[in-house]
Structure 1
Amino acid sequence: MKIMKRVEKIPGGLMVVPLFIGALINTIFPSLAEYLGSFTLGLTTGTTPILAVWFVCLGASISLKSTGVVLRKSGTLLVTKVGVAWIVALLSAKFWGNGMIESGFFAGLSTLALVAAMDMTNTGLYASLMGQYGTKEEAGAFVLMNIESGPLMTMIILGTAGIASFEPHLLIGIVLPFIIGYILGNLDEDIRKFLSQAIPVMIPFFAFSLGNSIKLTVILETGLLGIVFGLAIIVVTGIPLIITDILVGKGNGTAGIAASSTAGAAVATPLLVANMVPEFAPFAPAATALVATSLIVTAIVVPIITGLYAKNAKSFSSLNRNEDKGNMAV
């Protein structure tokens, strides 16, 4: 039936198709996995353990010689993502302060919603995309980017960092699987080869599990604004990320596009922030709905445009190499 070839023809197909199938199942039959239980339930709710194993394999695939590249990549993307969210927060605060737009097409939009959707990258999605379209070092850039996870960066950007608390042991828990794989892979070349084979295989399993945490109906709750909001997140963060990836990260911009998504953890951020800062409570529900829609929109659109961009970027790179050879011949 050539299913694999058809999926691969779709930009980001290994990620998009399983994710959409999972979201569709969760939307139409939300209790099916719990009803079936056992391994089926594990497959649909196993995002965290699947990613944990995937990160071990990813860490094993990166050699000691390329560590500097990983840090440069992750640092560039982290600073750019948070920096853009900070600038947007400053600009939006001038128009409606720390409140929310109450009426019109943009009703429900707030600084809290903008920052929560922008300052956190879906690192699992990013790592999976770069595992397919980028280098091992670019995929490994998720390590430092995980600092964005949780409400900490959102609180800092909103100017209330003194209220939020950051637990260092949580960061250790995030990077430990990667470090274990990294150590094993550099101690034994055979281990690196063995674990590296699992990197592309696990991408569709992670995508399917992630899809089962999403309901497509959330788009209806926010309407056209939610869709526009999600697309705007990609544009506003994606352009600076592409530029810095090329100029600072020394890439071709693909990593920048792949990092322009909204993280799944960001959906919980508005309510977490509201619990710590009560003045945000009145518009936290609207912000949550918008961030959830942005998660869905970016999870679907980012893999597609990343695949298209990567294809053109490779063509452009080939053209440049041919021109350089022609100039050398002359």
Structure 2
Amino acid sequence: MTVPIKAAIDKIPGGMMLIPLLLGAVIHTFAPGAGSFFGSFTGAFFTGLAPILAVFFFCLGATLEVRSTPYIMKKGGVLLGSKIAFAALIGIVAGRILGEAPIEGGFFAGLSVLAIVAALNDTNGGLYISLMGQYGRKKDAGAYSIMSLESGPFLTMVTLGIAGLAAFPWQALVGAILPLALGMLVGNLDPKMRALLAPAVPAMVPFLGLALGLTINLTSVVDAGLLGILLGLFVVLGGGLVLFLADKISGGDGVAGLAAATTAGNAALVPAIVAEANPIYAPAAETATVLVAASTVVTAILCPVITSAWSRRVNRNTQNAPAEDTPPDETPSPAHAETAPTPAASRAHHALPPT
């Protein structure tokens, strides 16, 4: 007898990250001493998020090819640059109002600059590639090979520094990007190493989610519910407008820009890493993690709806955007996505009303 565990998880937006994260949060909430009770490898896993992340980003870096076509460099650069610039602008404005600490009372209790910037800075690669396969152009899907450079805490750290908030020592900044950079070096020097390491990226996602969940108390999830939805709406609508205009200005039809207006499941890992690098952000880290995770779900639900609606307007005579043949090197490896889209996941994104 077999149980379709993966098929069931794939039906949930960002499920490979979110389901293990929720499981870990349940364990941490109701059995906070489980790690020390079991000890050994099990106990180490309860506090092992940082080394798991280091391996994950190294493997992810190995999938990124330095050699790209000019079109992919242009499209990916425009979308990446627009996303970073918008996050920096919002970070500067919010930083002047909030500072490093989260809001302590009222409806916006728990909201912080850390949560906002982390939610804006990282695109859901699996969903982007899936949407471009359904509604966009293949060569636009290839742009994610450039956009995936936003993965990890580096850009969030830089953005917080630009916003005039507490900066990070240069060693922390280098350390945040070093695994990704070394992975890129190894993967580009030897394609066989890329082929070896690439499959580890999607395989590690549920372990990252579980390790992160083991740091979250579910009482904070209840407190952040509606606020997380609003943060996701801001990413989809505010960030989507900026990316849409950037895509149009660069010669696109806007579909790629709208498809990039999401929060990656991996982004939920960023607040904890940032707090570890600079303890001044520790008070904001737990609620920021919950808010970013909520934004991941909200954007995964709304982004496909908005993208498909705009695609139908652009291409009134066909449901899907025109598919253009492109060389193989213009299509990114599925390993670039934090949840590589399977056919079942792709159908779920398209068929279910939430996605």
Q: Output the amino acid matched with 1:306.
A: A
Residues 9 and 229 (structure 1), Cα distance of their counterparts in 2 relative to 1, 3 Å cut = closer
**DSSP 3-state at the match of 1:242:** helix
Does 2:226 align with 1:228? yes
User: How far does the alpha carbon of each residue in 1:209-242 deviate from its partner, in whole angstroms, 9 at most, with x for none?
Assistant: 111110101245xx4xx43333333333442322
Once structures 1 and 2 are overlaid, which stretch shifts more, 314-323 or 114-123?
A: 314-323
Find the counterpart in structure 2 of residue 201 from structure 1: 203
Name the structure 2 match of 1:81: 87
Residues of 2 paired with 1:26 and 1:326: CA distance?
Answer: 44
| 1:323 Cα offset (Å) | 4.0
The whole-number CA distance in structure 2 between the counterparts of 1:327 and 1:200 is 27
- Residues 324 and 118 (structure 1 numbering): CA distance in 2 closer, same or farther, change over 3 Å? same
What pairs with 1:127-166 in structure 2 (closer than 5 Å)?
Answer: 129-131=124-126, 133-134=128-129, 135-142=144-151, 146-149=154-157, 153-154=159-160, 157=163, 164-166=166-168
Q: Which has the higher Rg, Structure 1 or Structure 2? A: 1
Tell me the CA shift for residue 99 of structure 1: 11
- The equivalent position to 2:53 in structure 1, one of 42, 51, 54, is 51
The 1:148–1:178 alpha-carbon spacing in structure 2 relative to 1, beyond 3 Å, is: same
Distance in 1 between the 2:22 and 2:167 partners? 36
Q: Is the 8 A contact 1:26 1:213 kept in 2?
A: yes
Distance 1:153 1:316 in 2: 31
* Structure 1 pair 169–200 and aligned structure 2 pair: CA distance change class (3 A): same
**Alignment deviations for residues 107-143 of structure 1 (CA, whole Å, 9 cap, x no partner):** 868xxx54343233497xx47x425654443333226
> Is 1:295 the equivalent of 2:289?
yes
Write the letter of the residue equivalent to 1:234: G
Secondary structure, in 3 states, of the residue corresponding to 1:22? helix
Residue 50 of structure 2 aligns to a residue whose secondary structure is: helix
**Structure 2 counterpart of 1:256, from 256, 261, 272:** 261
Unmatched 5+ stretches in structure 1 = 274-284
CA RMSD of aligned residues (A): 4.1
The answer to which of 319-328 and 113-122 deviates more is 319-328
Percent identity of paired positions between Structure 1 and Structure 2: 26
Q: Structure 2 CA distance, aligned partners of 1:188 and 1:179?
A: 14
In the other structure, the counterpart of 1:36 is 38
The question of whether the paired residues in 2 share the 8 Å contact of 1:12 and 1:307 is answered with no
**What amino acid is aligned across from residue 21 of structure 1 in structure 2?**
L
Relative distance call for 1:190 and 1:272 in structure 2 (3 A) is: same
Give aligned pairs, total: 292
Deviations 1:271-319 (A, max 9, x none): 727xxxxxxxxxxx9xx47x63342143144135325524763686588
- Contact 1:227–1:293 (8 Å) recurs in 2: no
CA distance in 2, matches of 1:327, 1:296: 35
Please give the alpha-carbon distance, in whole angstroms, between the structure 1 residues aligned to 2:192 and 2:234.
43
| TM-score (norm: length of structure 2) | 0.66
> Which structure 2 residue ranges, 5 or more long, are not aligned?
130-143, 323-355
How far apart, CA to CA, are the structure 1 residues paired with 2:101 and 2:206? 40
> Given that residues 62 and 136 in structure 1 are in contact (C-alpha distance below 8 angstroms), is that contact kept between their aligned partners in structure 2?
yes
- Post-superposition shift, 1:205? 0.8
Aligned counterpart for 1:174 among listed residues 176, 189, 212: 176
Instruction: Measure, in 1, the Cα distance between the counterparts of 2:185 and 2:126.
Output: 19
Q: Distance in 2 between matches of 1:99 and 1:191?
A: 42
1:26 Cα shift?
0.6
Cα distance 1:102–1:184, how it changes in 2: closer, same or farther (>3 A)?
closer
Task: Give the 3-state SS of the residue equivalent to 2:307 in structure 1.
Answer: helix
For 1:25 and 1:267, how far apart are their aligned partners in 2? Answer: 22
Query: Any conservation in 2 of the 1:254–1:306 contact (CA below 8 Å)?
Result: no
Contact 2:61 2:182 in 1 (8 A): yes
Q: Take 1:57 and 1:100, find their aligned partners in 2: how far apart are those partners?
A: 33
